């Protein structure tokens, strides 16, 4: 009798939980649809009533030039931040206390201070270490493949600032990826005669990269959006072009259309690329295959040693 009563109570409680889950799910769906319709309606109203399409067409070339500049900065900064961030992540996991602490100080500084502050230090502070007019990168010119490029300190300062900042975030992603790899794999690799460097490069780091890929990809998307801060150093990127057009035409909505479209073009392309890389990585199955392969190798070595004895 008591068992039947307790069973009825459990059925009622489980039914209540399911009912609550259904209610919460439907409420979430309703809120999502309502919010989506509200945003779509607002954007439609803006496009039909607030956008000057003749101005939209006339300012397009200016945004294209700014977009090329932003794309150049993003490509260079991404390559440098991911490459150097990987090395910094390895330094964070180093067995050397000095290396580990120095890398930790670097990461904490660049994660703990605003990017805007770092840009000010690099753009305004670094040139003041030289006498007035003596800063070597105040104006520069390089020739690559027959083409000549000239500029001032703004472009190098932008690339250096974004790179130094995002090295810290990539390093933490790599450190977390390494921590997620089973310690037994490193020990198995060492038992096969690999050095620490070989074991890290051939066994641990590939899996750590797969583990860290989502975080690194998210950081690179943030890097794209961080280029909007470069307007504070008077670099003619997308937001600077918007500010100039808005101040001259007193029309914010028309140039904002191009700002939105150009940023979405880059971020959505990067999101698609990251999704493709994640699917191709398929780290779960490859990690299991790597673990089983190492175990088979260690097992075969152990059997061979046993036969010799």
pLDDT digits (tens, 9 = 90+) for 196-227: 777 778 888 888 888 899 999 999 999 999 99
- Listed in sequence order, the residues at least 6 apart from 202 whose beta carbon sits closer than 8 Å to its beta carbon are 189, 194
Weakest-pLDDT range from 20-34, 65-79, 140-154, 172-186: 140-154
Under DSSP, is residue 152 helix (H, G, I), strand (E, B) or coil?
strand
**Is 248:214 a contact under the CB 8 Å cutoff?**
no
User: Please, what is the average pLDDT of the chain?
Assistant: 84
pLDDT score recorded for residue 124? 93
Structure tokens at 103: 């890398």
pTM to 2 decimal places: 0.80
Which top CATH class is 59-308?
Answer: mainly alpha
pLDDT score recorded for residue 132? 82
Read off the pLDDT band of 143 (50, 70, 90).
low
**Is 266:71 a contact under the CB 8 Å cutoff?**
yes
* Average pLDDT over every residue of 186-194: 78
Output the CA–CA distances (angstroms, integers) from residue 57 to 48, 230, 236, 262, 290, in the order listed: 15, 25, 19, 14, 55
Weakest-pLDDT range from 67-81, 128-142, 155-169: 128-142
């Amino acid at each position: 009798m008591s068992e039947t009563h307790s069973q009825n109570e459990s059925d009622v409680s489980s039914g209540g939980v399911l009912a609550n889950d259904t209610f919460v799910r439907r409420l979430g769906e309703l809120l999502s649809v309502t919010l989506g319709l509200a945003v779509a309606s607002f954007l439609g109203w803006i496009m039909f009533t607030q956008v000057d399409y003749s101005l939209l067409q006339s300012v397009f070339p200016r945004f294209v030039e700014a977009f090329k500049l932003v794309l150049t900065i993003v490509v260079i900064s991404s390559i440098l931040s991911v490459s150097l961030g990987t090395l910094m992540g390895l330094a964070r996991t180093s067995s050397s206390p000095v290396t580990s602490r120095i890398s930790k100080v670097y990461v904490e500084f660049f994660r703990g201070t605003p990017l805007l502050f770092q840009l000010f230090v690099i753009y305004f502070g670094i040139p003041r270490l030289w006498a007035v007019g003596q800063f070597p990168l105040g104006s520069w010119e390089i020739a690559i493949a027959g083409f000549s490029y000239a500029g001032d300190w703004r472009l190098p300062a932008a690339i250096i600032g974004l790179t130094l900042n995002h090295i810290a975030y990539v390093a933490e992603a790599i450190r977390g990826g390494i921590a997620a790899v089973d310690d037994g794999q490193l020990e198995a690799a060492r038992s096969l005669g690999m050095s620490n460097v070989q074991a890290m490069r051939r066994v641990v780091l590939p899996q750590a990269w797969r583990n860290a890929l989502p975080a690194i990809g998210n950081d690179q998307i943030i890097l794209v959006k961080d280029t909007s801060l470069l307007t504070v150093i008077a670099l003619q990127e997308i937001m600077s072009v918007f500010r100039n057009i808005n101040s001259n035409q007193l029309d914010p909505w028309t140039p904002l259309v191009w700002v939105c479209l150009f940023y979405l073009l880059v971020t959505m392309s990067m999101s698609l690329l990251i999704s493709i890389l994640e699917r191709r990585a398929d780290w779960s199955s490859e990690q299991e295959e790597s673990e089983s392969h190492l175990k088979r190798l260690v097992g075969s070595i152990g059997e061979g040693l046993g036969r010799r004895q």
